[in-house]
Amino acid sequence: MDVEFRTRQLQRAYEDERLAIRWWGPAASRVYGEWIVFIQEAASAADLYTHRRMRFHPLHGDRATQFAMHLAGRWRLIVALHGATVVIEEVSRHYDD
């Protein structure tokens, strides 16, 4: 699948792990990179549901068109699917704690 980043900051965090570590900590930044590679290698969106550790699931309410993936602790990766393209929307703390 193709991967696009909504912001330059998200792309830079993927390209330079030091930035991701500064923003989200070592555990979340490592998994962030792993998930991006996994998405790129996936044949379809259905493959994202097969990786149990990822906890890929649809969101509800205002985010009904988006999906979440677990990173580490309370950190999660929010993505949107547009055909064969996955758009990396944001990395956030679940419930903003």
Q: Looking at residue 88, which CATH number applies to its domain?
A: 3.30.2310.20
Are 28 and 34 in contact by the 8 Å Cβ rule? The answer is no
pLDDT in tens, 1-12: 999 999 999 999
pLDDT in tens, 31-54: 999 999 999 999 998 999 988 889
pLDDT for position 43: 92
Provide the domain limits for residue 47: 2-96
Q: What is the largest CA-CA distance in the chain?
A: 34
Q: Is the pTM of this model over 0.85?
A: yes
Position 58, amino acid? P
pLDDT for position 97: 45
Give how many domains the chain has, as a whole number. 1
